[in-house]
């Protein structure tokens, strides 16, 4: 019989551009130890592990078996699940199914990346099709630039609108002791930063980060014992719908995968009006324009209204639905951990452990993952047991 | 249905993944490798919870999940616990074939270390004692290969 | 565990090189064929698990290449990097969590990459990678540790090669059906002592798919459902020097759990056929010990006494095993599929008569560090 | 926490062995390259269900999950749907060296196709290129073609798209 699942603990490293002081495995262990400490468990309490990252970013094959000492999985079940940028959410969802299936009681989800160890663009290029795309592909920015310019053309959004997202997220990061980029920025800073590919400027995009995240999922009965305020998984949904870059280019319809995934998740969670019913959102926004457009696809506002919604302050810390209290992806981007950090931060908000970044009285939160070929993952967490 | 598919001569395309990597060794590993490089010493460390002495040393014990602070200098000698004589070449091998890989349990350690044995392979068997042969100081780089190989005693 | 079943299977012919097919093609064909086998439409599938590996495919996010081909458009999908038994286990968890039908599809083309460089990538970047270790030399260390401890000879393990390549002659999909003698194996090229060429599995191309269904879905399928009775996985420590390579304790732990789920107390009596991951000859007896079919060190006696041959009481690898076709990551799924065929009674010339309970096994990582054990039955 | 001062006691190890591959192009892709070499023209493939035309041709239409067979000859020209002038240095994983920059990465909709084809456009002056322009494929000399995307040298902006 499928069982209810909750997040009972989270751990993350203090994210940095470089972590020369720890090897990859030691960095993973740091996050795992923090997750265990967060819920007062020991490694012996964990029944199974799910881990993910990007193989060619650090050149590690079989990350599952390679990591066991750091993960704490010696003589335990461990599985590797990986799907590119969505890896972190994919790992979280896999950990959820491990527990929901009734086969495991407490499962640790781990995502990590040490981007300082390779040429990130070179590594990203290897995700393109070797026959058709790798010859000309130059990384993620051009396709995002395409989406951004199409959106601007369609709805008249401006570079300033996008800059507001950067200012919001980066300044939120000041409240997050774990965030990588923790310097306040202004609209002028964003607007005057170098143009990478029109309309995307340097401060519109995510950094590359060394870091790891670990999240403990537990079955109903244990969750209640371990944790006073567990973050219950109310729904998760995935759309990895495209295989070819050239197929995901219908930008006028929005981010279709996110629309479909969130609709399914809302239905499962019984949410009709997301902006009203969700109290906080941790969104995988790899660049600022996504912070305008994708909140429309998530149904926070109507198509074309994203820029105004953000400008009106609805996504600020004191707004209707605060987005990215953690500082989000443009403040911290350890790729294999990035989407898991969204899940962890959402859980932190439900548990009320957000410190300076806590949104008051969070009952329902949404986390998203983005990656691959314009793919989307969604997880909805709640304070009340579903 | 047209059957153009049957007439196509299939092509292949050669390429490679040539991404350069630079891995951080970390504080614990660096201390171990610097001792090899600068002092010709093989360091291990011991988990005071379970008593296991590790080589290479670990920042935390994977079994007990506690930090390990107790460092020990291990003997440069140990016992072969398993081995294989490699006959087939591979570009990443640091020695010419035939050479041997061996798991060596250094005196004072509780776990084995995988390394190379290059000479007197006809004498090689499990249980035999071996001693680390270091590279000349000028050739040592802070790498496990600063031990050139182990010699049968 | 709720009752769930495998209701559709498909596998390619396993070959050294499928030059005319991309992995996209292979995944499409297996998805199509598994649906045909089950008598389902793509719309009956409500979620998909693909299995691929970025090192094998030469591509980061290798899963991105096959989503369309797996019919995963607008569906919940995920990807396991690792052996097919692990990916299928994730597929089973999803059904147990409430999905109706999970399609699990794996692909790999060993012909496209350099197997030694790819498997060198399993080893620790700081302490092992530069030593040039890869799958064969590391496994040779394990073979040596095991054979030395229990006084098992090279001739002994050669018997495994003789048996499994002969079994492959009854499997039209196998890559290496061969009539061999112990002498042939002993005379084959030495690679890393004690392993010789015919102790090693080949490099192969292929793909395979299964459909796992919830109990209330099985009646829609046209084939006899094969029930999943127990599944478990477990990983040993990572560094070769931290492990006792001659003691497959992680397998023992996984098997114990899978047996408990399946209610099996005397595996030798209760299991009728075994498909295990014999990437190298020595692995078959070693894994049989880990699976508790015999005492440590006596696995080879089972073969010498005829227990594990086709006519014996416990045929092992009637398909010819991994020694006869080794599509990395697909191989574990192929073990599950062979078990399903045996339990359906569709195994043709290699049918084990009256097989009711089968065991399939897969491994991940160097020297069988991580194991996954499946117990299946044609009895609900 | 580690500071830069500590870097001399914190080591790194490097690895730069290229991993070689030889990928199958597949029957559909091979036909595309044969067509380029033989006739210097593009072909796509049409879905019998939704009628979408894909270029390069592929085996399956994802939304319909239908196998595709009907080849369609396409003109070797199209419209720029998006482009990006790549100006940041990075390692080309195919060579292990820096890819020459600047170059323009373009999303091109081949006339008669429903999806996007990506390739290089030989214009790196931001003043001279814009979305919506018509471009035409420029091919390598036939004798140099090897069944590779580089058989198409690049796309060039058409001066008189009407002609």
Q: Do A122 and D15 touch (CB under 8 A)?
A: no
Whether residue A344 sits in one domain with residue A204: yes
What's the CA dihedral at A272, A275, A279, A283 to 10 degrees?
A: 110
Residues A323-335 have pLDDT tens digits of 999 999 999 999 9
CATH code, A25: 3.40.47.10
Chain D residue with minimum CA distance to B35: D9
Q: Does residue D159 have a pLDDT over 50?
A: yes
Residue found under tokens 């690895």: D15
Whether residue A199 sits in one domain with residue A226: no
Q: Does residue D157 have a pLDDT over 90?
A: yes
Number of H helices, E strands in chain C: 12, 11
Any domain includes D19? no
Residue found under tokens 């009285």: A361
Question: End-to-end CA distance of chain A, in Å?
Answer: 15
* Domain containing residue A354: 138-208+234-382
Domains, chain C, in order of start with CATH, read 4-114+204-220 (3.40.47.10)
Nearest to C99 by CA among C48, C52, C63: C48
Average pLDDT, chain C: 97
Residues C308-318 have pLDDT tens digits of 999 999 999 99
Q: Rounded mean pLDDT of C373-378? A: 98
Minimum-distance CB partner of B63 among A21, A58, A74: A74
**Interface of chain D toward chain C, CB-CB under 8 angstroms:** 13, 15, 17, 19-27, 29, 58-60, 62-63, 65, 67
Nearest to A260 by CA among A240, A245, A285, A289: A240
What is the Cβ-side half-sphere exposure of residue B125, based on CA atoms within 13 angstroms? 5
Stated as kind and residue range, the H or E segment containing C55 is helix C54-57
Average pLDDT, chain A: 95
Minimum distance, in Å, between the CA of residue D91 and any CA atom of chain A = 5
Tokens coding A201:
């400027």
DSSP, res A156 = -
pLDDT band for position D161 (cuts 50, 70, 90): low
What span, in angstroms and rounded, lies between the C-alpha atoms of A21 and A34?
17
Angstrom CA distances, C103 to A87, A302, C189, D120, stand at 20, 36, 41, 38
* Domain containing residue D31: 26-157
Any domain includes A184? yes
The reported pLDDT for the residue numbered C224 is 95
Any domain includes D150? yes
What span, in angstroms and rounded, lies between the C-alpha atoms of A359 and D25?
52
Q: What is the pLDDT along chain B (153 residues), one digit of tens a residue?
A: 458 999 999 999 999 999 999 999 999 999 999 999 999 999 999 999 999 999 999 999 999 999 999 999 999 999 999 999 999 999 999 999 999 999 999 999 999 999 999 999 999 999 999 999 999 999 999 999 999 999 999
Whether residue A181 sits in one domain with residue A103: no
**Chain C partners within 8 Å of A75 (Cβ):** 234-237, 249-250, 253
Bridge partner list, A379: A236, A367
Average pLDDT, chain D: 92
Any domain includes A133? no
Any domain includes D3? no
Any domain includes D4? no
Q: Do B116 and C120 touch (CB under 8 A)?
A: no
ipTM: 0.97
Nearest to B4 by CA among D150, D31, C97: D31
**Chain D partners within 8 Å of B33 (Cβ):** 11
What span, in angstroms and rounded, lies between the C-alpha atoms of C58 and C53?
8
**A59 touching B, CB under 8 A?**
yes
Q: Do B143 and D15 touch (CB under 8 A)?
A: no
Touching B (3+ Cβ pairs <8 A), the chains are A, C, D
Percent of chain C, pLDDT > 90? Answer: 99
What span, in angstroms and rounded, lies between the C-alpha atoms of C75 and A377?
11
Selected for mutation to probe chain B from D5, D11, D43, D68 (highest B CB count within 10 Å) is: D11
Q: Are A74 and A68 contacting, i.e. CB atoms less than 8 angstroms apart?
A: yes
DSSP, res C139 = H
A-C CB pairs within 8 A amount to 190
Nearest to B143 by CA among B58, B36, B42, B44: B36
What span, in angstroms and rounded, lies between the C-alpha atoms of C310 and C314?
8
pLDDT band for position A146 (cuts 50, 70, 90): confident
Minimum-distance CB partner of C140 among B8, B84, B104: B84
Which residues 123-162 of chain D have a CB within 8 Å of chain B? 147-148
φ/ψ (deg, to 5) at C330: -80, -30
**Chain B partners within 8 Å of A43 (Cβ):** 65
Tokens coding D135:
């471009």
Q: Do B65 and A42 touch (CB under 8 A)?
A: yes
**Chain B partners within 8 Å of C193 (Cβ):** 84-87
Touching D (3+ Cβ pairs <8 A), the chains are A, B, C
Whether residue A299 sits in one domain with residue A193: yes
The reported pLDDT for the residue numbered D7 is 61
Minimum-distance CB partner of B24 among D12, D24, D71: D12
Selected for mutation to probe chain A from D21, D34, D64, D92 (highest A CB count within 10 Å) is: D92
User: What is the number of structural domains in chain A?
Assistant: 2
**Chain A partners within 8 Å of B63 (Cβ):** 74
Q: Does residue A224 have a pLDDT over 80?
A: yes
User: What is the number of structural domains in chain D?
Assistant: 1
What span, in angstroms and rounded, lies between the C-alpha atoms of A54 and C367?
23
Any domain includes A14? yes
What is the Cβ-side half-sphere exposure of residue A123, based on CA atoms within 13 angstroms? 26
Give chain B's length.
Answer: 153
The reported pLDDT for the residue numbered A142 is 77
Q: Rounded mean pLDDT of A218-240? A: 96
Any domain includes D107? yes
The reported pLDDT for the residue numbered D82 is 82
Tokens coding C81:
């990097």
**B36 touching C, CB under 8 A?**
no
Whether residue A263 sits in one domain with residue A226: no
**Chain A partners within 8 Å of D117 (Cβ):** 246
Tokens coding D163:
């002609």
Stated as kind and residue range, the H or E segment containing A32 is helix A24-39
Q: Rounded mean pLDDT of C299-312? A: 98
Whether residue A268 sits in one domain with residue A250: yes
**Interface of chain D toward chain A, CB-CB under 8 angstroms:** 1-2, 6-7, 10, 12, 15, 21, 23, 25, 29, 56, 58, 62, 81-88, 90-94, 99, 103, 105-107, 115-120, 126, 131, 148-150
Residues D52-104 have pLDDT tens digits of 999 999 999 999 999 999 999 999 999 998 888 888 888 999 998 999 999 99
Angstrom CA distances, C128 to B25, C134, C194, stand at 13, 10, 21
Any domain includes A151? yes
Any domain includes D18? no
Whether residue A40 sits in one domain with residue A164: no
Q: Do C140 and B87 touch (CB under 8 A)?
A: no
Collect all residues with Cβ–Cβ distance below 8 Å to B110 and sequence separation of at least 6.
B51, B52, B53, B54
pLDDT band for position C270 (cuts 50, 70, 90): very high
Chain B residue with minimum CA distance to C20: B10
Q: Are A170 and A181 contacting, i.e. CB atoms less than 8 angstroms apart?
A: yes
Q: Do C134 and B114 touch (CB under 8 A)?
A: no
The reported pLDDT for the residue numbered D1 is 46
Give chain D's length.
Answer: 163
Count Cβ atoms below 10 Å from residue C166 Cβ, excluding itself: 17
Q: Do C133 and B114 touch (CB under 8 A)?
A: yes
Percent of chain A, pLDDT > 90? Answer: 89
Minimum distance, in Å, between the CA of residue C89 and any CA atom of chain A = 10
Any domain includes D6? no
The reported pLDDT for the residue numbered A250 is 73
Chain A residue with minimum CA distance to D80: A146
pLDDT band for position D162 (cuts 50, 70, 90): low
Minimum-distance CB partner of B21 among D15, D28, D95: D15
The reported pLDDT for the residue numbered A289 is 97
Any domain includes D9? no
What span, in angstroms and rounded, lies between the C-alpha atoms of C102 and C73?
14
Chain C residue with minimum CA distance to D13: C126
Q: Do D10 and A21 touch (CB under 8 A)?
A: yes
Selected for mutation to probe chain A from B11, B59, B63, B92 (highest A CB count within 10 Å) is: B59
Whether residue A282 sits in one domain with residue A142: yes
Residues C213-263 have pLDDT tens digits of 999 999 999 999 999 999 999 999 999 999 999 999 999 999 999 999 999
Q: C125-143: b or e for each residue (b if 16 or more CB lie within 10 Å)? A: bbbbbbbbbbbbbbbbbbb
What span, in angstroms and rounded, lies between the C-alpha atoms of A356 and C373?
47
Q: Do D84 and A245 touch (CB under 8 A)?
A: no
Tokens coding B135:
């590279």
Whether residue A256 sits in one domain with residue A356: yes
Minimum distance, in Å, between the CA of residue A24 and any CA atom of chain C = 10
**Chain C partners within 8 Å of B88 (Cβ):** 136, 189, 191-192
Q: Does residue A215 have a pLDDT over 50?
A: yes
What is the Cβ-side half-sphere exposure of residue D155, based on CA atoms within 13 angstroms? 28
A-B CB pairs within 8 A amount to 70
Minimum distance, in Å, between the CA of residue D163 and any CA atom of chain C = 38
Minimum-distance CB partner of C112 among D23, D59, D60: D23
Minimum distance, in Å, between the CA of residue D159 and any CA atom of chain A = 24
Q: Are C375 and C271 contacting, i.e. CB atoms less than 8 angstroms apart?
A: yes
Q: Do B94 and C130 touch (CB under 8 A)?
A: yes
**A136 touching D, CB under 8 A?**
yes
Stated as kind and residue range, the H or E segment containing B50 is none
Q: Does residue D5 have a pLDDT over 60?
A: no
Minimum distance, in Å, between the CA of residue C129 and any CA atom of chain B = 8
Rg over alpha carbons for chain D, rounded to the nearest Å, is 20
Bridge partner list, D53: D46
Lowest pLDDT segment from A242-246, C16-20, C150-154, C178-182: A242-246
Stated as kind and residue range, the H or E segment containing A311 is helix A306-311
B-D CB pairs within 8 A amount to 103
Q: Do C234 and A76 touch (CB under 8 A)?
A: yes
């Amino acid at each position: 019989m499928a069982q209810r699942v909750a997040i009972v603990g989270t751990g993350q490293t203090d994210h940095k551009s470089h972590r020369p002081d720890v090897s990859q495995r030691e960095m993973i262990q740091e996050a795992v130890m923090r997750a265990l400490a967060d819920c007062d468990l020991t490694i012996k309490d964990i029944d199974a592990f799910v881990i993910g990252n990007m193989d060619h970013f650090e050149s590690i094959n079989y990350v599952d078996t390679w990591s066991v000492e750091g993960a704490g999985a010696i003589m335990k079940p461990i599985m590797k699940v990986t799907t590119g940028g969505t890896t972190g959410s994919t790992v979280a969802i896999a950990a959820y199914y491990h527990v929901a299936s009734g086969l495991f009681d407490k499962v640790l989800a781990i995502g990590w990346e040490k981007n300082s160890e390779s040429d990130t663009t070179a590594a990203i290029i290897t995700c393109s099709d070797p026959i058709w795309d790798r010859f000309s592909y130059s990384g993620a920015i051009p396709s995002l630039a395409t989406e951004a310019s199409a959106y601007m053309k369609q709805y008249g959004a401006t570079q300033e609108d996008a800059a507001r997202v950067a200012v919001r997220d980066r300044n939120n990061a000041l409240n997050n002791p774990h965030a990588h980029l923790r310097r306040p920025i202004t609209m002028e800073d964003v607007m005057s930063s170098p143009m990478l590919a029109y309309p995307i400027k340097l401060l519109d995009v995510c950094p590359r980060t060394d870091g790891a995240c670990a999240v403990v999922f537990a079955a109903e009965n244990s969750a209640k014992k371990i944790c006073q305020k567990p973050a219950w998984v109310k729904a998760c949904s995935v759309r990895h719908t495209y295989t070819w870059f050239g197929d995901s280019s219908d930008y006028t319809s929005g981010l279709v995968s996110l629309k479909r995934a969130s609709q399914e998740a809302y239905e499962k969670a019984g949410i009709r009006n997301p902006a009203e019913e969700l109290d906080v959102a941790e969104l995988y926004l790899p660049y600022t324009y996504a912070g305008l457009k994708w909140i429309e696809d998530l149904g926070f506002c109507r198509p074309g209204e994203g820029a105004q919604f953000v400008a009106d302050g609805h996504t600020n810390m004191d707004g209707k639905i605060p987005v990215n209290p953690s500082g989000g992806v443009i403040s911290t981007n350890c790729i294999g951990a990035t989407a898991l950090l969204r899940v962890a931060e959402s859980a932190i908000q439900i548990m009320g452990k957000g410190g300076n970044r806590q949104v008051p009285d969070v009952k329902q939160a949404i986390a998203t993952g983005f990656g691959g070929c314009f793919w989307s993952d969604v997880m909805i967490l709640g304070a009340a047991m579903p | 249905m047209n059957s153009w598919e049957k007439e196509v001569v299939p092509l292949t395309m050669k390429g490679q993944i040539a991404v350069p990597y630079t891995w951080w060794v970390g504080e614990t590993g660096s201390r171990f490798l610097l001792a090899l490089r600068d002092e010709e010493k093989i360091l291990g460390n011991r988990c005071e919870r379970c008593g296991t002495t590790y080589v290479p040393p670990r920042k935390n014990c994977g079994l007990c999940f506690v930090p390990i602070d107790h460092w020990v200098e291990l003997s440069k000698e140990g016992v072969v616990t398993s081995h294989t004589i490699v006959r087939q070449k591979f570009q990443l091998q640091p020695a010419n074939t035939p050479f041997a890989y061996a798991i060596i349990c250094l005196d004072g350690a509780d776990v084995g270390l995988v390394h190379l044995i290059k000479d007197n392979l006809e004498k090689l068997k499990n249980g035999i004692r071996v001693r680390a042969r270091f590279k000349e100081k000028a050739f040592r780089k802070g790498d496990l290969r600063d031990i050139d190989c182990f010699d049968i005693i | 565990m709720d009752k769930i079943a495998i209701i559709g299977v498909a596998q390619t012919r396993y070959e050294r090189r499928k030059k005319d097919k991309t992995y996209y093609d292979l995944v499409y064909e297996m998805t199509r064929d598994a649906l045909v086998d089950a008598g389902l439409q793509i719309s009956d599938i409500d979620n998909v698990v693909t299995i691929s590996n970025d090192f094998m495919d030469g591509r980061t996010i290798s899963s991105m290449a096959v989503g369309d081909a797996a019919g995963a458009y607008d569906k919940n999908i995920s990807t396991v990097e690792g052996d097919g038994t692990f990916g299928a286990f994730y597929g089973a968890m999803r059904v147990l969590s409430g999905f109706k039908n999970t399609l699990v599809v794996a692909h790999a083309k060993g012909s496209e990459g350099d197997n030694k460089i790819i498997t060198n990538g399993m080893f620790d970047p700081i302490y092992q990678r530069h030593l040039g270790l890869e799958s064969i030399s590391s496994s040779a260390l394990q073979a040596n540790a095991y054979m030395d401890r229990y006084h098992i000879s090279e001739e002994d393990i050669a018997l495994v090669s003789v048996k499994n390549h002969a079994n492959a002659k009854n499997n039209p999909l196998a890559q290496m059906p061969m009539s061999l003698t112990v002498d042939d194996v002993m005379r084959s090229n030495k690679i890393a002592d004690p392993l010789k060429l015919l102790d090693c599995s080949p490099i192969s191309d292929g793909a395979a798919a299964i459909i796992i269904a919830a109990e209330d879905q099985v009646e829609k399928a046209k084939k006899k459902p094969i029930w999943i009775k127990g599944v478990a996985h477990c990983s040993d420590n990572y560094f070769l020097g931290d492990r006792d390579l001659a003691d497959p304790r992680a397998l023992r732990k996984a098997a114990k759990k899978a047996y408990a789920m399946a209610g099996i107390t005397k595996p030798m009596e209760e299991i009728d056929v075994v498909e295990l991951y014999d990437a190298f000859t020595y692995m078959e007896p070693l894994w049989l010990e880990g699976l508790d079919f015999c005492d440590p060190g006596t696995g080879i006696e089972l073969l010498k006494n005829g227990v594990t041959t086709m006519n014996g009481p416990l045929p092992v690898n009637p398909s010819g095993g991994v020694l006869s076709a080794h599509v990395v990551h697909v191989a574990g799924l192929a073990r599950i599929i062979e078990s399903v065929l045996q339990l359906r009674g569709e195994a043709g010339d290699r049918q084990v008569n009256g097989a009711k309970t089968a065991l399939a096994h897969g491994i991940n990582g160097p020297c069988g560090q991580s194991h996954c054990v499946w117990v299946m039955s044609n009895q609900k | 926490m580690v500071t830069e001062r500590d870097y001399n006691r914190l080591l790194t190890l490097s690895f730069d062995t290229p991993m070689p591959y030889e990928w199958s192009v597949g029957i559909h892709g091979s036909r595309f390259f044969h067509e380029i070499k033989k006739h210097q023209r593009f072909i796509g493939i049409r879905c019998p269900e939704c009628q979408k035309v894909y270029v390069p041709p592929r085996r399956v239409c994802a939304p319909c999950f239908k196998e595709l067979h009907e080849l369609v000859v396409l003109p070797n020209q199209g419209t720029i749907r998006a482009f990006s002038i790549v100006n940041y240095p990075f390692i080309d994983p195919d060579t292990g060296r820096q890819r020459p920059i600047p170059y323009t990465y373009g999303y091109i909709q081949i006339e008669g196709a429903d999806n996007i084809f990506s390739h290089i456009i030989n214009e790196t002056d931001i003043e001279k290129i814009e979305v919506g322009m018509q471009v035409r494929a420029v091919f390598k000399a036939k004798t140099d073609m090897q069944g590779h995307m580089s058989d198409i040298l690049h796309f060039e902006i058409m001066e008189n798209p009407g002609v």
